Each structure stands twice: as structure tokens, then as C-alpha cells.
Amino acid sequence: KAGVTQTPRYLIKTRGQQVTLSCSPISGHRSVSWYQQTPGQGLQFLFEYFSETQRNKGNFPGRFSGRQFSNSRSEMNVSTLELGDSALYLCASSPDGGEKLFFGSGTQLSVL
Amino acid sequence: GDSVTQMEGPVTLSEEAFLTINCTYTATGYPSLFWYVQYPGEGLQLLLKATKADDKGSNKGFEATYRKETTSFHLEKGSVQVSDSAVYFCAPNYNNDMRFGAGTRLTVKP
């Protein structure tokens, strides 16, 4: 069974640009969560999608958005990038949300 | 709000030393408790979990006991190996809302 796949693995953008990150969950998993990981703030929850609906949301500005498709694949979008958005973005899937998360290797975003 | 406090790192130990990484949580309810591990260049992996008071989670020689009276879930291992070098995250799950601690980096030297 393939694991959680995140693309791209690395990304370099400049301030003001926007970016879209992709996550393919484990087959059969309907819940996808996104986290931002930085050395200073640790792992912070962005949002969770379940069956194409956003079910939980963390405390991030509206520049951070996401969506989930009918095949459970999810995308995360960040608009008007800021230097502070530089981070490792991790996606995690689970069969029904919450209890046991399976993480991808992440997308390392650098904003210059 | 609900939160988790984890022992700050980095922690450096010699092979075969005893490991303890402290974790305490605050909650109005009874969260399930998890430890996740992140090896270099990888995403997080579930290490162990406990779902109710006095439960002990264990995996790969690591153990943690759900202590409701002290709201703690300390991670322990009797004899660490170089391959245990990683970042460890304590994570209470509040009604399907998983919160992660800041992470503790462990380095084990031969």
C-alpha cells in the first residue's frame, strides 16, 4: 500500500507569489490534515478535510486555504507569500480523522 | 485552551543510556495520547499511543503511561540506540483535533 505522497518535495518562491501544494493520501483514507512545521513554532495545525469538507481549522490567516477532491486528494494554497511562510508543510491522512495519522515526507517551502 | 508541554531539547545520550522525555497536557476532557517520531528527512510516524487512564503504550522498546492524576505521558526507553536519534513529539488528541508538542530532538552517540 503506497504511503502519503506530497509534491513537490522542495519549492522556492518569492514574496507576494502564491503556491499550491499537493497531497495524495493512503488509498481508502478520507481524512487529510495539513500542518506547518518551523523550528520556532514547531508543528502547527492548519486544517483538516474529510469527504471534501473542511472539518477543523487552526489559527492561520485566510491566505492559507485548502480543498479536497472526491478521490480524497488534497491541495493547500498559500497566497501573497511572506518570508515567515517558509516552513516544512506536512500532510497526514487517516481513515476517518483524528486518531492515527500517517504523514507524508512534507514539502519544504522557502520564501525569498 | 488545550495544550501540551514537552521537555525541551536537544537531548544527547550515549548508546544504552536510559531515556526519559517529559510531556504534560492540559485538557478539560480525556484526550487520547500519542507519541510520534520524526527521523531525519521524513514525516512523522506514530510511535505509540494510550487511549485511557493507566493505559501503557509501547513499541520498539519505548513506553509511556497515561497518568491522569498528573496529566502526563512521559516517554521512556531503557537502552537507547544510535538509530533512535530523531525528533519526538507528544500529541494529545482532543476530539479528533490532534495537537503536537514542540518536539524533542534526541541524539544518541555510539
* Separation in Å, CA A86 to CA A21, A37, A39: 13, 9, 10
Mean local confidence (pLDDT), B26-42: 87
> Which pLDDT belongs to residue A40?
79
Confidence category of residue A103, pLDDT binned at 50, 70, 90: very high
Instruction: Assess A81–B contact: CB distance below 8 Å, yes or no.
Output: no
Contact A104 B98 (CB under 8 A): no
pLDDT in tens, B98-109: 888 889 999 999
> Which pLDDT belongs to residue B53?
92
Q: Which residues contact A39 (CB under 8 A, 6 or more apart)?
A: none
Q: Which residues contact B97 (CB under 8 A, 6 or more apart)?
A: A45, A56, A98, B2
Instruction: Assess A112–B contact: CB distance below 8 Å, yes or no.
Output: no
**Contact indicator for B20, B6 with CB cutoff of 8 Å:** no
Total number of residues shown for chain A: 112
Q: Which residues contact B64 (CB under 8 A, 6 or more apart)?
A: B23, B33, B35, B48, B50, B56, B57, B58, B73, B74, B75, B76
**Residues of A with CB below 8 A from B100's CB?**
35, 42-43, 45
Q: Which residues contact A41 (CB under 8 A, 6 or more apart)?
A: none
**Contact indicator for B34, B98 with CB cutoff of 8 Å:** yes
Nearest to A103 among B43, B96, B99 (CB): B43
pLDDT in tens, A45-76: 899 999 999 988 988 999 999 999 999 999 99
* Residue given cell 504511503 in the structure block: A3
Give percent of chain A above pLDDT 70. 96
Contact A101 B96 (CB under 8 A): no
Q: Which of A67, A61, A62 is nearest to A91 (CA)?
A: A67
CA atoms within 13 A on the CB side of A86: 11
Mean pLDDT, all residues of chain B? 91
> Which pLDDT belongs to residue A83?
96
